[in-house]
Amino acid sequence: MLGAIHGGHSSKLCLGSCRAVRPSALCYRGLVVRAGELPPNYEEKMQGARDPFAGEVGTQFTAKPLGQADTFHIIRPPTGMDKVTGLRSRRCKPCEAGKAQALDSLTCESLRNQVPGWRLVKDKAGHTCIQQEWKFLNFVSSVEFFRRVGAVAEMEGHHPDLHLEDWNRVWIQLATHSVGGLTENDFILAAKINDIEISDLRQRPKAKPRNFV
């Protein structure tokens, strides 16, 4: 459960989850709100937040605590930290046609460097997309991989093009169809797809013959 946001900016990068000290109210940038009325895009602001240190709690965080004595506080990570903590921890944003712009090639190249295994290609319509290929144990494992990817895509509201041929050869293409090119959503989803556990689906390395002595 996340707590109040201490108005100050932490100079330390603090990662980890937050724990309520005593859930009585939230002090958000000096504004005390009831826990039920979380400010908008609260999760985004809490990215990389952490538990307060004992000393911080003990000293009420500073001489001038922003919340009530019994609010619970979180030291916010420095502004813009989400750019540093990586694509995997970010969320895709809904993109309506005409509102989002496709990324330029320089930006695509730098984002591509953050998603190992993916490469920039042209899809069948000639639009730039990113693609990665896999080979799985069998047809069932390939379909299970699609199921796992589908769950992440639905969670993010951003969807890949899934291809499966020769019963266990899989490739995925990612592009933002509403802009006809690549947006950050594609790289965020690519990073999350890279995080999917697939060791149970891959071809097992050929067992070496064991010498029975």
Stretch of 51-59, 90-98, 102-110, 193-201 lying at the interface with ligand H2B (CB under 6 A):
90-98
CB of 92 to ligand H2B, least distance (A): 8
CB environment 175-210: b (16+ within 10 A), e (fewer): bbebbebbbbbbbbbbbbbbeeebeebeeeeeeeee
CB of 91 to ligand H2B, least distance (A): 12
CA-to-CA distance for 118 and 174, rounded, in angstroms? 10
Q: Is 95 in the site for ligand H2B (CB under 6 A)?
A: yes
Question: 3-class SS at 72?
Answer: coil
Crossing angle of helices 184-194 and 139-156, rounded to 10°? 140
Q: Is 158 in the site for ligand H2B (CB under 6 A)?
A: yes
The single residue among 142, 176, 181, 193 that binds ligand H2B, judged by CB under 6 A, is 176
Query: Six-digit token pair at 200?
Result: 């149970």
Number of residues counted as binding ligand H2B (CB under 6 A): 9
One symbol per residue from 113 to 152: x for binding ligand H2B (CB under 6 A), - otherwise; what is it?
Answer: ----------------------------------------
